[in-house]
Structure 1
Amino acid sequence: MKMDGETITLKRNLTEWRFSQYPKYILLPIDENHDQVKSNIKNVVFSEVTPRPLQRNIRLVCASEDALKNILDMDPDIVNREEFTEFVAGKKLPYGALPVAHRYGGHQYGSWVGQLGDGRAHILGEYVNRRGERWQIQLKGSGQTPYARVHDGRAVLRSVIREMVACEACHSLGIPTIRAAGIVVSDEAVIRDIYYNGNPRRERAAVLLRLAPSWFRFGSLEILSKSGELTVLRQLVDFIIKEYFPDIQLTDENRVIRLFSEIAHRTLDLVAKWQGLGFTHGLLNTDNMSLLGLTLDYGPFGFVDSYDAGYVANCSDGEGRYALGKQPDVVVWNVGQLAIALKPLLTLSQQVHMSHILKTLDTYCKNKILETFLMKIGLKEERWGDEQLVEKLLDMMQRTGADFTSTFRQLAEVDSKQLLDKTVLEGKWSLNKLQEVSQWSVWVQKYRDRLNAENVSEEQRCARMVKVNPVYVPRNWILQEAIADAEKNDFDKVRLLLKIFRNPFEVNEEAEILGYSAQPPSWSYGLKLSCSS
């Protein structure tokens, strides 16, 4: 096969494909008393544990061709082999596998909850691909681990479909994220109370094949710091620096400060990306915050439809702690908890330095979000009054119920000189709503003046905007339709979504027929999501 002018050989079976002989994580403390569910484990980063594979009538739901080819060096036809399905189900582990579950803790809804860990996920091993990238391969829903607590170790079909599509869509949307390579489902039944209202139901167990350079998260360091395991904490911090932050020298006495600063700014860059695409993480706890600045553990996420800064994706979040408009502040708070976890490794002067960094994060985050929104309206240079220009647009969108994704895309498709032409706007179902407010004409004039001040031509404006404003995002109703079909063993729509979200910035004929860029159906506004998965 030829890719980018280079002839490469993709692996056609699991005999040819194998893990790296020595995963880097074997250098860290691993609890070898595996296959035991424990309430508390000390002085380890991982526990060795064998997956419990799905057994009954296993079938492949979908696979990401991009992840298979460009991360795992697998020929896409490998999905037609039974051994691939068995691999994702946890039945067939390739050569070199060393299955472990990761130990971590976390703050959930603002409170420390102690030890958590991978209760139903197994890191199988590491794979170094043809580009020299090292990826950790993980199964989610592959059985209990020592961190399962009272959980059965399984994941259900609806939740893994949501995560699979979201991972691959976010990657294409330019959001740093973990990746997903495939899903299998079985006839094994599990019981879930979806809305925690005393109405449990039977669902089918499924497994998701996930990929990430690392699964370390804020909670990976928090659990060690909170438990006083400072030797292991320092060991893990130095490991993370060496393996994932090569620009920081282990001989640098300020390496922990530099690490913190890098993680903090990557994380705030990430939340700015989320804000710019209307993405709302439904469970923004510190155990779900990647140390590499990746979107992790999607859970009850949502892309906002009608713009509302108070939009809450997770119906379990009764107080709206993780509402769309609050996410930047929550992320800054989470970064503060990371700082506390690292504090025992710092001298007094370094602690003062860290406090100075913390004081700058609010401003940094606001500036990154403003920069993101200026790009969405075709501007590059930040000038006085830009913040008010963006805020006024969002305010009008919230007051009129204009759709977040479609408003920005349609703004890119209409000549700025025609933004007050009612006939033109009638063909743009979301942008048209902004005419309902009297301030629309004032805003349009200010927008035109701002474009002129930067000397932005219509061609430049539109070209910039269509690159950052997608036609499609994985809206809840779109996912729900695919899930409903999949629960009847019709996986065509799930596979179609993966195809569409390879290029979410381009109009797709099949997506248009299905109405994916049209006004969401009325029933979709009542959809609820919870942590049940």
Structure 2
Amino acid sequence: MKRAFSVFTTLLHDHTPLSASSMANLINDFKEWKLKDPPNYSELPIDANPEYNVPVAVKNAVFSKVPTEPLTGKLHLVCASKEALTDILDIDPKVAESETFIDFVAGKYLPKGGLSVSHRYGGYQFGFWADQLGDGRAHILGEYINSKGESWQPQLKGSGETPYSRFGDGRAVLRSSIREMIASEACHHLGIPTTQAGALVVSDEHKVWRDKTYSGRARQERAAVVLRLAPAWYRLGSFEILYKRNEPDVMRMLADFVIKHYFPDVDSKSDDRYVQWFSEVAHKNLDMVATWQGLGFTHGVLNTDNISVLGLTIDYGPYGFIDHYYEHYVPNSSDDMGRYAFNKQPDIILWNLEKFVEALQPILSESNKQKIKDIIATLRGYVQDKIL
């Protein structure tokens, strides 16, 4: 762990000077940094339950409008990714040390154009339907269009309770937050499709109780927040909850929205658009897992709510890298049956995709269903012959 963190800090504190032209295009006052107003996701149904931090079964919505619950006490910037700040957010790295930026990551400051929401989704966990899950401790703050024309959604993890918190307190601790930073940065630089981490802030005084070893001996740890970055945060479970709750109109709206904004190669006017879209989602995720297998990465919790429709590695929890080849490697201590072992990852991704198809049934024509069934058969052969 110490060696990994040493490598990690070396990446973050790269002192390679930026060119004068690059510096000229970077924002050096975070108060000037603005989000797209309104964000594209405002086109989708957003629940506006006034009791935003009370667990509730949300209906007919893709998001819930939820303000952040900022960290309290003395705040510190633990680290920030120079590449994420400059290449994604157009921010001078020095800005990360400013009070305004630290307040932003801590959930205290929402830039102009921001719309704080938490995403609703469900999922199959260890093979069983777990019903509504959602962003229980995360807030999407808005949408940023950078100087390259790319769209990115900043999300805070550990920023307070939401309607999806269930029995959680909406917080993250420094220990797990560092792991998130290490993993997302490492995977990005290894060429694995992934969400990225922009910065990490911790509080000296804000403490939460955690039972690290699940032994019944909880202790207090410092609360922290990670700034995560992705083009979008939609998961297979985003559609599964709509299927289970019998909300086909919302599902069709979400599917068409995702195709329009994130899958430019899909003909959005075609009767086969959902077939084309599924094929792309499947190939992106299988390409992703192929890179995992080649680099010895084991995700640890491949539930359907942890699978991105964009084919990005998402939600770094009990992940691990294999030091010496062992195909049955399981980094997750709660995975007693080894469901998500290293060698099972390709098959599990395919199983998850089959559940995704099941969820899409209400918006598929009979012709679409048969074509997707044929695609699944082809993909199964691909997994067996090319990945396993």
Q: Tell me, yes or no, whether TM beats 0.5.
A: yes
How far is 1:38 from its partner? 2.9
Aligned partner letter, 1:10:
L
Distance in 2 between residues matched to 1:135 and 1:4, nearest whole Å: 25
Taking the aligned partners of 2:22 and 2:56, their CA distance within structure 1 comes to 51
- 11, 23, 40: which one aligns with 2:27: 11
Q: In the alignment, does 2:191 pair up with 1:174?
A: yes
Distance across 2 between alignment mates of 1:80 and 1:43: 41
| Contact 1:272–1:365 under 8 Å retained in 2 | no
Matched residues in 1 for 2:22 and 2:210: separation? 48
Q: Distance in 1 between matches of 2:97 and 2:154?
A: 20
Q: How does 1:57-206 map to 2 (within 5 A)?
A: 57-186=74-203, 187-206=205-224
Cα distance in 1 between the residues matched to 2:99 and 2:302: 37
Q: Is the 8 A contact 2:279 2:375 kept in 1?
A: yes
Are 2:262 and 1:241 equivalent residues in the alignment? no
Distance 1:4 1:271 in 2: 39
Q: Any idea what the Cα deviations from partners look like across 1:244-268, whole Å, max 9, x if unmatched?
A: 0011122100001111111001100
- How far did residue 368 of structure 1 move? 4.2
Matching residue of 1:56 = 73
The residue correspondences of 1:1-400 to structure 2 (distance < 5 A) are 3=19, 8-34=24-50, 35-186=52-203, 187-369=205-387
Query: 1:14-51 deviations in whole A, cap 9, x for unaligned?
Result: 22111111100000000112424233111000000100
Tell me the amino acid that sits aligned with residue 137 of structure 2: R
Q: How far off its partner does 1:195 sit?
A: 2.6
Is the 2:137–2:171 contact (alpha carbons within 8 Å) kept by the matching residues of 1? Answer: yes
> Structure 1 residues 6, 151: closer, same or farther in 2, change over 3 A?
closer
SS in 2 for 1:261: helix
Structure 2 distance, partners of 1:215, 1:3, is 32
Q: Distance in 2 between matches of 1:302 and 1:216?
A: 24
Deviations 1:387-408 (A, max 9, x none): xxxxxxxxxxxxxxxxxxxxxx
TM-score by length of structure 2 reads 0.93
Distance 2:75 2:53 in 1: 26
Give the counterpart letter for 2:121 in structure 1. Answer: Y
The DSSP-based 3-state class of the residue aligned with 1:210 is strand
* 2:23–2:92 contact (8 Å) kept in structure 1: no
What stretches of structure 1 of length at least 5 have no aligned partner? 371-533
Q: CA deviation at 1:6?
A: 6.1
Distance in 1 (alpha carbons) for counterparts of 2:383 and 2:24: 42
Q: 1:440-499 deviations in whole A, cap 9, x for unaligned? A: xxxxxxxxxxxxxxxxxxxxxxxxxxxxxxxxxxxxxxxxxxxxxxxxxxxxxxxxxxxx
**Kept after mapping to 1: 8 A contact 2:192/2:288:** yes
Q: Matched residues in 1 for 2:21 and 2:66: separation? A: 42
**Which amino acid in 1 is paired with 2:251?**
L
Identity among equivalent positions (%) equals: 55
User: 5 Å matches for 1:470-481?
Assistant: none
**Higher radius of gyration, 1 or 2:** 1
Question: Structure 1: how far apart are the matches of 2:242 and 2:163?
Answer: 17
Output the TM-score relative to the length of structure 1.
Answer: 0.68
2:22, 2:175 → 1: CA distance?
Answer: 39
Contact 2:286 2:349 in 1 (8 A): yes
Q: Is 2:31–2:100's contact at 8 Å kept on the other side of the alignment? A: no
* 1:455-470 map, 5 Å: none
Given residue 41 of structure 1, which amino acid in structure 2 is its aligned partner?
A: V
| 8 Å CA contact retained: 1:12, 1:75 | yes
SS in 2 for 1:222: helix
Letter in 1 for 2:347: D
Query: Match of 2:372, as an amino acid?
Result: M
More helix by share: 1
Aligned residue-pair number: 370
- Unaligned 5+ segments in structure 2 are 1-16
Moved more, 349-358 or 331-340: 349-358
> Is the Cα contact below 8 Å between 1:29 and 1:43 reproduced in 2?
yes
Cα offset, 1:303, TM superposition: 0.3
Deviation at 1:5, TM superposition (A): 6.9
For residue 354 of structure 1, report the CA deviation from its aligned partner.
1.1
Q: Give the Cα separation in 2 of the matches to 1:12 and 1:221.
A: 40
Q: Distance in 1 between matches of 2:93 and 2:75?
A: 19
List per-residue Cα deviations over 1:367-423 (Å, max 9, x = no partner): 4437xxxxxxxxxxxxxxxxxxxxxxxxxxxxxxxxxxxxxxxxxxxxxxxxxxxxx
Q: What amino acid maps onto 2:295 in structure 1? A: L
Aligned counterparts of 2:56 and 2:72: Cα–Cα separation in 1: 28
| Cα distance per residue 1:204-229 (max 9 Å; x no partner) | 10000000000000000110011110
SS at match of 2:215: coil
